A = this chain, B = another copy of it.
Amino acid sequence: MERVSEQEKVFVKKGEQMANIKDIAKMAGVSVTTVSRVLNHHPYVSEAKKDAVLNAIKQSNYKPNINAIHLSKGKTFLVGVVVPFSNHPYFGYLIEGIAAEALKHNYKLVLFQTNYNEERELEALTMLKLKQIDALIICSRNCSWETIKDYISFGPIVLCEDARKKQVSSTFIDHYKSFNAALDYLYQKGYRNIGYCIGRKTGTNSHQRHQAYLDFIEKVKQPFHKDYIFYDCYQLEDGERVVNKLLNMKQPPSALLVTSDQVAAGILACCKEKQIKIPDELAILGFDNEPIAKVMNITTLDIPLFEVGRKLFNQAMKHDSIFHEEVEVKLIERQTV
């Protein structure tokens, strides 16, 4: 015989005047067990019965207080997702992947859009602590690991960065390795004065990339030019600022590694306008392989962001194990290098 679930008990106990679980079963023409299964998202219920139950609930004006259910089950079916912005394709694709997997597990996403404000990140961590969410996926953070560490006992926290030395699961790109490979590709193509465009100066991924850059130019015995590094490059519009800076330099870089295809596309469009020949006068190597890179024929490193999002969600569902997954990037040769 089927065990009566906690959720059902609450439904029965807190059943309001309108209808209780027995009424729902009667209205839907199914057993109480079936209603219970539907309420608990049990997989083995036929679509027809499920529809009948959901219709009965709808028609009955039956309002179980779900917060009472959460209290008894200790589960919210909500996963927090920390992103700095939601209007950037990079995070849009990650969210899309997380959402696709969440759907399969009947989870909803609570979005924390932080603009890299640490206080917003703390709010997300606090919601995990207060059991308002079951797990937290941090796509990009400003908080130190020391801060996050205090919250790992409250529920799964998953990072989208190399966290192999940390006590949380992670899905990541080895940015040191991929930056190094990209620099090597440009070097092999004959470019010597190589610069790069990036978002933040700080952050785990930025540090790894900068280290790869420093190590590379040392290896190939090129001088370090501070002004070959362009910060605060996130969006299309930032490309124009980069090109204007290039135009004012005596010895501008001959190639740029651009950590977002959005910015790469902005640089390319601005160069076309100012009749700077690509790649002869400036080579551009983007990141992510977004649709805009395909449309504008930008050579780029493909990062399977949708897939990364899916993996992050699945890691967030594992309460009892920590694991790390590295995602490989792939060079897509087009016309800008």
Contacts and interface: CB of A to CB of B under 8 A. Distances in A.
A13 to B, nearest CB: 13
Given A67-B67, A108-B112, A109-B111, A87 B89 contact: yes
A291 B112 CA distance: 24
Contacts of A54: 122
A19 interface: no
A109 B127 CA distance: 13
Q: How many copies does the complex hold?
A: 2
Given A70-B67, A131-B66, A132-B66, A294 B89 contact: no
Interface in A165-212: none
A56 to B, nearest CB: 13
A150 B122 CA distance: 37
A15 interface: no
Contacts of A130: 63-66
Give the size category of A's interface with B: 35 or more
A33 interface: no
Contacts of A127: 66, 108
Interface stretch (A95-103, A136-144, A216-224, A246-254): A95-103
Contact of A292 (B64, B131, B292): B292
A73 B265 CA distance: 49
Interface in A221-278: 235-237, 239-240, 265-266, 269-270
A67 B58 contact: no
A322 interface: no
B86 A96 contact: yes
A93 B86 CA distance: 7
Given A86-B96, A108-B110, A266-B291, 12 more contacts: A54-B122, A64-B130, A65-B131, A66-B131, A67-B68, A67-B71, A81-B111, A87-B93, A89-B92, A99-B111, A236-B292, A292-B292
